[in-house]
Amino acid sequence: MPEPIVPRKVKRSPLGIVFFQEQYQNQIDGVRNALANTRRPKHLLSGLLTCSHCGGRYSIVSQDLYGCFNARNRNTCTNKHTIKRQRIEERVLHGLKDKLITPEVVETIIREMQQEANRLQRERLQGHDQKKKDLAAVNSKMMRYVEAIGEGTDLPIMHTQLKELEVERKRLEQELSQEPIKLPDLHPGIATLYREKVERLTRSPQ
């Protein structure tokens, strides 16, 4: 069962609706990528509201009213409550906004972004160092082949391997000629940018 919006427990509203955080996050992703999503839901919360009485879905049952599908269409639930679509969307979005821009959340976002930037930078530097080691190993192996040939051990396979090592040496030298890209520091106004994005994301739909 997906995690509810209220941590570690299901939040039941007076209308008998249950909200699921994981499902709602998927909806947020869908809204953010709406232009690329040709089969996006008709309404912001379509398919995301669940009746806490019967476990069925809350859907548009009349005009812009959400209600229990089972109660309205199957008569298998006693939850007859309805709520206006605009009202429930505003309540959800406002609640989301309050949770997404708290100082603690903003601090966590910035810390995780910095940690990810540091991880990527370490990987780039480690890859650069590994190529230096690989190049040294290739040069050492080529030198041993040259010495062996000079001492009289001249086999066709050795010339083939020397050619392969030469190709590898040139590749590594080419890659090492490019310094690893240093990631830019986080924008000093990242916290403000994050809040602005959340503000835009959680504006009530028209």
DSSP 3-state percent helix, strand, coil across the chain (nearest 5): 55, 10, 30
pTM: 0.40
pLDDT at 97: 73
pLDDT at 35: 47
pLDDT at 71: 92
Give the separation between CA 150 and CA 93, rounded to whole angstroms: 78
- Bridge partner residues of 49 (DSSP): 19
Q: Which residues of the chain have pLDDT under 50?
A: 1-11, 19-21, 23-24, 35
Output DSSP code: residue 81: -
Question: Is 4 within 8 Å of 95 (Cβ atoms)?
Answer: no
Question: In 45-189, which ranges are continuous DSSP H helix?
Answer: 69, 85-100, 103-150, 156-176
8 to each of 11, 32, 101, 109, 155, how far by Cα in Å?
Answer: 10, 26, 20, 21, 71
pLDDT at 5: 40
pLDDT at 127: 83
pLDDT at 2: 42
